[in-house]
Amino acid sequence: MKHIHVCLISEQTIPNILGIFYFKPEEVLFITTEQMLKREKTEAIVNTLKRLGLNIPFFEIVVREDSIYDCHRKIAQWMEKHEEDNFTVNLTCGTKIMSIATYEIFKDYGSKMIYIPIPKNEFFEVYPLKKLSEPQPLPLRLGVIEYLTAYSLRVTNEAKLNRYKEESEKRKALTNWIVTNYNSIEGLLSEFYKVLQKSRNVSSFDLTIEFPISNELQRDFLKAVGFNISGRTISKRLSRSEIRYLTGGWLEEYVFNSLNSIKGRGIDDVVMNVEIENIQGNKNEFDVMFTKDNALYFVECKSLSPEDEITKSSLYKIGALQKEFGLRVQSFFVTTSPHIIKDGQIRQSVRARAEQFKTEIIKPDEIVNFETIIRKKLKIMEE
């Protein structure tokens, strides 16, 4: 007698991953549809489980999601060879027709059936019937890459993510200094952005520019970054990492470091500069992503960008990504650009676009308090 766990396949994959990881069966039966086959939902679940260390054999039954007769017939046919086995059944996903048919068949075998109320990380035992069924916690918490894998998305630069983390940690003190003294060095950063923005992907760049240093903080910053200063001339051979840092990467690293400081104390995982490819081959890069309680959040960062890029590129990019993930995606937009502000408030056009994409805007004067804002928004208590 084997323990087989039964899952109904739909757009939402995480409830099935949580159930399989909790019960750790010997085999899994996926009841799916032609549409879900095309979207590779079973593969997404299986690949995520493998990342979690579970390589479980599975069966797959393809049914018509709108035909209770077809569901009954195909499940019953499969059951003829497995009547002696022991079953747990997750009724959370699939269509109502699929759930009804599955329930009717497996209750005759005394199977334990559960339901996971999205987005809670717990399940209720709905069969066998009891007077009172207390929720049982599901302890698994997915990391960013596991979450993306669960939604059929591939991280194409996974091997580089640890290097980005190490670089950001080495520059943490400098990054915090930039945020604290931003107003005094904004002109210098703006000049770097103007000169280097089109060279962000080159391996190195010999930078020599004339810049009138107007205060000692600008001079301190140039020395900290390793520039040569001769009168009004500043110069340095910059690596790709340094180019990206000077053209806005410092803001991404500040956000990453702020979130990473509470990893394991409210946030489960955080990565930066993650490159993603979906099953259609479409690619995109995102600044910072993090997970909390099996929900995905992402942060888009823009420094010193023109207004049209903010409203059209950044917020549209956020909206496009949200469609890839389904229901549980919340985003934050962090920018130093003054163009989003009018009379001390976020411009109405920018606010409306952000609300359309369910995006929280962190204004320039709020960036220094980013960690506090995130803690408050996500109800993470101070220790």
Which range among 47-61, 105-119, 294-308 has the greatest average pLDDT? Answer: 47-61
Q: 317 is written with which tokens? A: 């990019």
Distance CA 219, CA 227 (A): 9
Rounded to the nearest 10°, the torsion over CA 200, 205, 211, 214 is 70
| Domain containing residue 16: CATH number | 3.40.50.10770
Instruction: Give every CB contact of residue 53 below 8 A, 6+ residues apart in sequence.
Output: none
Distance CA 287, CA 273 (A): 5
CB atoms within 10 A of CB 193: 15
| Residue 73, H or E segment | helix 68-79
- Of 211, 245, 279, the position where a domain reaches its end is 245
Q: Are residues 10 and 85 in the same domain?
A: yes
In a domain, 208, yes or no: yes
Amino acid at 171: R
Q: Are residues 9 and 127 in the same domain?
A: yes
Q: Which domain holds residue 277?
A: 155-164+248-377
Q: Are residues 108 and 183 in the same domain?
A: no
Q: Are 124 and 95 in contact (CB under 8 A)?
A: no
Kindly report, residue by residue over 113-167, the tens digit of the pLDDT: 999 998 899 999 999 887 667 899 999 999 999 999 999 999 999 999 999 999 9
- Of 227, 245, 263, the position where a domain reaches its end is 245
Kindly report, residue by residue over 1-12, the tens digit of the pLDDT: 899 999 999 999
Q: Are residues 216 and 89 in the same domain?
A: no
Instruction: For residue 193, report the phi and psi dihedrals to the nearest 5 degrees.
Output: -60, -45
Instruction: Give every CB contact of residue 134 below 8 A, 6+ residues apart in sequence.
Output: none
Kindly report, residue by residue over 347-356, the tens digit of the pLDDT: 887 888 888 8
CB atoms within 10 A of CB 64: 16
CB atoms within 10 A of CB 217: 17
Kindly report, residue by residue over 20-51, the tens digit of the pLDDT: 999 999 999 999 999 999 999 999 999 999 99
Which neighbouring-strand residues pair with 292? Answer: 295
> What's the mean pLDDT in 219-238?
96
Q: Is the peptide bond before 25 cis (omega within 30 degrees of 0)?
A: no
> What's the mean pLDDT in 57-78?
96
In a domain, 147, yes or no: no
Domain count, the chain: 3
Amino acid at 257: N
Q: Are 315 and 357 in contact (CB under 8 A)?
A: yes
pTM value is: 0.92
